[in-house]
C-alpha cells in the first residue's frame, strides 16, 4: 500500500557506513515511487585522511563523520532549496558498515526526525539495498525485475530482484569481495588506497594475457565466487618478479594489473550472464563501487548486447557510496509506510534477510 499516493514526498538521507559522509535530498512529485528527483547529493570524502594508513581507520572515520555531517546537511538543504520543515521523512544507513560510523548518521537522522515540528518518520536503510537499487534512481518506472550484480568493497552478490523488497540471493563470494580483492592486490603492488581505481589506471595499455591468473569456480554449477586464490596467484607471481623493496617495476605494472583485472571481470561476467539466462530475465543491473570500472562496464556492455539483455548501470557517482541510493530506498519505504522505531540500533553485519532475502 502506498500511503502517500498522489502527494509530493520529500526525504533527507544520510550515508555514513564507511569513509564517506553523504547527505541527499530526494523528491517524488506524486508519491508513487516511480519517477524520483535527486534534488541534491552531497559527499564529503575522507579518502585523503585514511590514505596514509592504507585503509579506513574506524575511530578517525566516526570522528570525521561527526565533524562533517551537520554542515553537510545545511549545505544539502541550501542546494536543494528545501527547508527542513518541508522534509517528510529522514533516513540513514543502519548497516552493514562500521558501527561507530553508522551511529553518527543514524543518530543524526533520528534527531532530525524528532526535532522537526510535529515529528517525522525515521527509516533505517540497508546499505546493500541502496547499492542494489541505485541503477533505478534515474529511471522513470520504479524498480523493475532484473538480475543484479552488486560488487562493492565488502560484498559480491548476484541477486534476482523481482521488485522492491523481493530479492533472492542466488550467489555470493565465499571469501574476498571483488572490491576487497582489488584493494588487497593494490596493496601488494604498493599502490595507494583505495586500490580499485589505481589498478584500473595502471591496467591501461597492459596485456590482459601476460599472466595466466585463475578464474575460480567458473565451471561450477552454482553462482558463488571466490577471489582469494586469485589474490594468492598475484602474490606468487610477484615473488618471482624483479622488484624493488617488494614493489614491482613500472614496466611490469600494466600487464600485472590488466591480467588481474581481466580475471576478476571474466568470472563476474560469466556467472552473472548465466544467472540472467537461467532465470529468463531481460534486464541486468550493475552496482557497487567496482561497477565504476570501465573495463568491467565494457565487458558487460558487450555480453549484454550479444545476449539481447538490457544493461542498467548508474553514473559512477551513484555507484560508489552516496546518500542518494539510501534516499531512494528510504523513499520507497516512506511511501509504503514502512517506518523504523526510534530505538532501533545500527547493525554492522546487517544480515541479508533485513532485505527480505531468500536463499
Ligand atoms: O560500494 P563502495 O563505494 O563501498 C562499499 O560499500 O564497499 O565500493 C568500494 C570498493 C573498493 O573496494 C574500491 O576499490 C572499489 O569499490 N572500486 C573499484 C573502482 N572504483 C572503486 N574497483 C575497481 N575499479 C574501479 N574503478
Ligand atoms: Zn557501499
Do residue 26 and residue 134 come from a single domain?
yes
Peptide bond preceding 96 in cis form (omega within 30 of 0): yes
In a domain, 185, yes or no: yes
25 CA distance to ligand 2 centroid (A)?
18
Beta carbon of 88 within 6 Å of any ligand 1 atom: no
Please state, in angstroms and rounded to a whole number, the distance separating the CA atoms of residues 117 and 134.
31
In the predicted model, is pLDDT for residue 3 greater than 80?
A: no
The verdict on 193 and 299 lying in the same domain is yes
Ligand nearest to the CA of 155: 1
**Cα separation of the two ends of the chain:** 26
Quickly tell me which residue has 550467489 as its cell. Answer: 171
Domain assignment present for residue 14? The answer is yes
Residues 220 and 83 in one domain: no
pLDDT band with cut points at 50, 70 and 90 for residue 354 = low
Q: Could you write out the DSSP letters of every residue in 315-333?
A: -HHHHSS-SHHHHHHHHHH
Is the domain of 123 the same as that of 165? no
**Among 289, 318, 348, residue to substitute to test ligand 1 (most atoms within 8 Å of Cβ):** 289
Same domain, 163 and 63: no
Q: Distance from the CA of 45 to the center of ligand 1, in angstroms? A: 14
- Nearest atom in ligand 1 to 177's CA: 12
Helix 195-203 to helix 294-307 angle (10° resolution) is 70
> Is the domain of 272 the same as that of 331?
no
Structural domain boundaries enclosing 296:
146-313
Q: Of ligand 1's atoms, which has the minimum distance to the CA of residue 154?
A: 7
DSSP H or E run through 43: strand 37-45
Residue 163's Cβ-count burial label (10 Å; 0-12, 13-18, 19+) is exposed
Residue 243 lies in a domain: yes
Regarding the beta carbon of 89 and ligand 1, being less than 6 Å apart is answered no
Query: Is 183's C-beta closer than 6 angstroms to any atom of ligand 1?
Result: yes
Q: CA-to-CA distance for 53 and 219, rounded, in angstroms?
A: 38
pLDDT in tens, 334-347: 999 999 999 999 99
Q: Quick check: bond before 70 cis, omega within 30?
A: no
Report residue 79 CA to chain centroid gap. 24
Hey, is 156 helix, strand or coil? strand
Cβ of 292 below 6 Å from ligand 1: yes
H helices within 116-177, ranges in order? 127-133
Question: DSSP H helical segments within the chain, as ranges?
Answer: 47-51, 58-80, 99-115, 127-133, 178-188, 195-203, 228-239, 253-279, 294-307, 316-319, 324-336
Query: What CATH number is associated with residue 196?
Result: 3.30.420.40
Of 77-81, 243-247, 278-282, minimum mean pLDDT range = 243-247
Q: Whose CA is nearest to atom 13 of ligand 1?
A: 196
Examine the domain organization and report whether 190 and 238 are in the same domain: yes
Q: Are 27 and 41 in the same domain?
A: yes
Whether residue 113 is found in the same domain as residue 16 = yes
Looking at the fold, whether 25 and 82 belong to one and the same domain comes out as yes
Inter-residue contact 146 to 287 (CB < 8 Å) = no
For residue 232, being part of any structural domain is answered with: yes
Q: 297, 313, 329 — which closes off a domain?
A: 313
From 296, 313, 330, give the residue that closes a domain. Answer: 313
Q: What is the pLDDT of residues 133-171, one digit of tens each?
A: 999 999 988 999 999 999 999 999 999 999 999 999 999
User: Do residue 299 and residue 325 come from a single domain?
Assistant: no
> Is position 192 within any domain?
yes
Cβ pair 209, 254 in contact under 8 A: no
User: What separation in Å is there between the alpha carbon of 152 and the centre of ligand 1?
Assistant: 5
Q: Average pLDDT of the chain? A: 94
Is residue 275 assigned to a domain? yes
3-state secondary structure of 221: coil
- Nearest by Cα to 198 from 212, 211, 209, 185: 185
How far is the centre of ligand 1, averaged over its atoms, from the C-alpha of 288 (Å)? Answer: 7
Residue 51, pLDDT above cutoff 90:
no
Asked if residue 321 has its Cβ within 6 Å of ligand 1, the reply is yes
Position 344 in a domain: yes
Into how many domains does the chain fold?
2
Cα-to-centroid distance, 83 and ligand 2 (Å) = 28
Q: pTM to 2 decimals? A: 0.95
Q: Are residues 151 and 127 in the same domain?
A: no
- In a domain, residue 2? The reply is no
Amino acid at each position: 500500500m502506498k500511503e502517500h499516493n498522489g502527494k509530493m514526498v520529500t526525504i533527507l538521507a544520510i550515508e555514513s557506513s564507511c569513509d564517506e559522509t553523504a547527505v541527499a535530498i530526494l523528491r517524488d512529485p506524486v508519491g508513487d515511487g516511480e519517477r524520483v528527483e535527486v534534488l541534491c547529493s552531497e559527499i564529503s570524502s575522507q579518502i585523503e585522511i585514511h590514505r596514509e594508513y592504507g585503509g579506513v581507520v574506524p575511530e578517525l572515520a566516526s570522528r570525521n563523520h561527526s565533524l562533517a555531517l551537520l554542515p553537510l546537511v545545511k549545505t544539502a538543504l541550501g542546494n536543494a532549496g528545501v527547508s527542513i520543515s518541508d522534509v517528510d521523512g529522514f533516513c540513514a544507513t543502519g548497516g552493514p558498515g562500521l558501527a561507530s560510523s553508522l551511529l553518527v548518521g543514524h543518530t543524526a537522522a533520528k534527531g532530525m526526525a524528532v526535532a522537526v515540528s510535529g515529528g517525522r518518520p525515521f527509516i533505517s536503510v540497508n546499505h546493500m539495498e541502496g547499492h542494489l537499487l541505485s541503477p533505478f534512481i534515474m529511471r522513470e518506472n520504479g524498480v523493475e525485475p532484473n538480475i543484479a550484480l552488486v560488487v562493492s568493497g565488502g560484498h559480491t552478490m548476484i541477486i534476482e530482484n523481482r521488485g522492491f523488497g523481493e530479492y533472492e540471493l542466488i550467489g555470493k563470494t565465499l571469501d574476498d569481495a571483488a572490491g576487497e580483492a582489488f584493494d588487497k592486490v593494490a596493496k601488494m603492488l604498493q599502490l595507494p588506497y583505495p586500490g580499485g581505481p589505481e589498478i584500473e589506471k595502471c591496467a591501461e595499455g597492459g596485456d590482459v594475457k601476460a599472466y595466466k591468473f585463475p578464474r575460480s569456480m567458473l565451471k561450477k554449477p552454482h553462482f558463488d565466487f571466490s577471489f582469494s586464490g586469485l589474490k594468492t596467484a598475484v602474490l606468487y607471481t610477484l615473488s618471482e618478479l624483479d622488484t624493488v623493496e617488494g614493489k614491482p617495476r613500472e614496466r611490469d605494472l600494466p600487464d600485472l594489473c590488466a591480467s588481474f583485472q581481466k580475471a576478476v571481470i571474466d568470472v563476474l561476467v560469466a556467472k552473472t550472464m548465466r544467472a540472467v539466462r537461467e532465470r529468463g530475465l531481460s534486464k541486468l543491473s550493475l552496482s557497487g563501487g567496482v561497477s565504476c570500472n570501465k573495463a568491467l562496464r565494457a565487458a558487460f556492455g558487450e555480453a549484454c548486447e550479444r545476449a539481447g539483455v538490457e544493461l542498467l548501470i548508474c553514473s559512477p557517482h551513484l555507484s560508489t557510496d552516496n546518500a542518494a541510493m539510501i534516499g531512494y530506498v528510504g523513499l520507497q519505504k516512506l511511501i509504503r509506510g514502512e517506518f523504523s522505531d526510534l530505538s532501533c540500533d545500527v547493525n554492522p553485519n546487517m544480515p541479508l534477510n533485513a532485505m527480505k532475502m531468500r536463499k
